[in-house]
Amino acid sequence: MSISPVSRRFPSFSAKYMALWESYIKNGIDETLDPTDKENEFPTAWHRQHYFDVGYDAMRIVVQSLLCAGRDVPQRILDFPCGSGRVTRHLRAMFPDAQIGGCDLYASHVDFCASRFATVPLLSKENLDQLDVGTWDLIFCGSLLTHLPEALFWSTIDFISRSLSPSGIAVVTLEGRHVLHIQDHKWKLIEDDLFDVARHQYHEKGFGFVDYNTDLRASLFNAQESYGVALTSPGWLMNGLSKLDDIRILGFSERDWDDHQDVVVFGKPGVNA
């Protein structure tokens, strides 16, 4: 039986990931917080610790996805969107030699990540059809598709796909079936009357969206025309992704990131390339 080149390289790059992981856990992360971050508040010590734990959990998913897809350690990593560095600080600690791009719609986030985590500062646009940031071996897209309406959802997938290097992979998070359970039994993502608008569409066609109320958007998200709660079913997502020949679907797991968000992994080369 012949062994494929990827299978032959697998033991050597899994050893590299193990060494990086050990050093990441041993050295820890930069815990400096962005003073302008209005999205993350820490009323208790638990909330602060949870903020950092969510980043560790992102690294578990990133390394698992790279290994399962048979990819060597990434040299160029895009954190899109970087926000105030919840995940960026972990990417920097896990991949100390990589070039990391920190891309967000808000200049304060981009500047904070560049100054603390040595990222390449990349200011985004709401209309991603007009954005070009080069190509990357790994794109982590955490908690963005969870907030976008359908048209922006697919232009984000398109932007990510065309920003992957020839062997690049994207790890993208979504809110799916488990979020309906969270809203009903754990905590409120949004007021019930608004959530039910998205829930109704979700049951009708597999995707639902509702904007946050105007006050919240004015105080926290004033650079976006539309931003709220997006619910995505696995079937609707796979149906859309399977129409895109320039990528291949590499994995999907429900209720994965932080025991909450679903994770889809896709990448290059395309399905027929």
In the complex, which residues of this chain contact ligand SAM (CB under 6 A)? 39, 81, 83, 86-87, 103-106, 109, 124, 126, 128, 142-144, 224
Q: How far apart are CA 84 and CA 112, in angstroms?
A: 7
Q: How far apart are CA 70 and CA 61, in angstroms?
A: 14
Closer residue to ligand SAM (CB): 39 or 184: 39
User: 195 in helix, strand or coil?
Assistant: helix
Residues 65 and 139: beta-carbon distance below 8 Å: no
Q: How far apart are CA 109 and CA 113, in angstroms?
A: 6
Closer residue to ligand SAM (CB): 228 or 267: 228
Closer residue to ligand SAM (CB): 66 or 160: 160
Q: How far apart are CA 214 and CA 44, in angstroms?
A: 28
Query: What is the sign, positive or negative, of the torsion defined by CA atoms of 188, 190, 193, 197?
Result: negative
Q: Which residue is nearest to ligand SAM (CB)?
A: 83
Closer residue to ligand SAM (CB): 87 or 139: 87
DSSP string covering 120-180: EEEE--SSGGG-----EEEEEE-SSTTS--HHHHHHHHHHHHHTEEEEEEEEEEE--HHHH
Q: How far apart are CA 254 and CA 233, in angstroms?
A: 10
Minimum distance, C-beta of residue 231 to ligand SAM, in the bound complex (Å): 15
Strand partners for 251 = 265
Closer residue to ligand SAM (CB): 105 or 182: 105
End-to-end CA distance of the chain: 25
Closer residue to ligand SAM (CB): 59 or 128: 128
Residues 153 and 230: beta-carbon distance below 8 Å: yes
Closer residue to ligand SAM (CB): 61 or 248: 61
Minimum distance, C-beta of residue 120 to ligand SAM, in the bound complex (Å): 14
Minimum distance, C-beta of residue 199 to ligand SAM, in the bound complex (Å): 20
Minimum distance, C-beta of residue 45 to ligand SAM, in the bound complex (Å): 19
Query: What is the sign, positive or negative, of the torsion defined by CA atoms of 144, 145, 151, 156?
Result: positive
Helix (H) or strand (E) holding 83: none
Closer residue to ligand SAM (CB): 135 or 224: 224
Minimum distance, C-beta of residue 85 to ligand SAM, in the bound complex (Å): 8
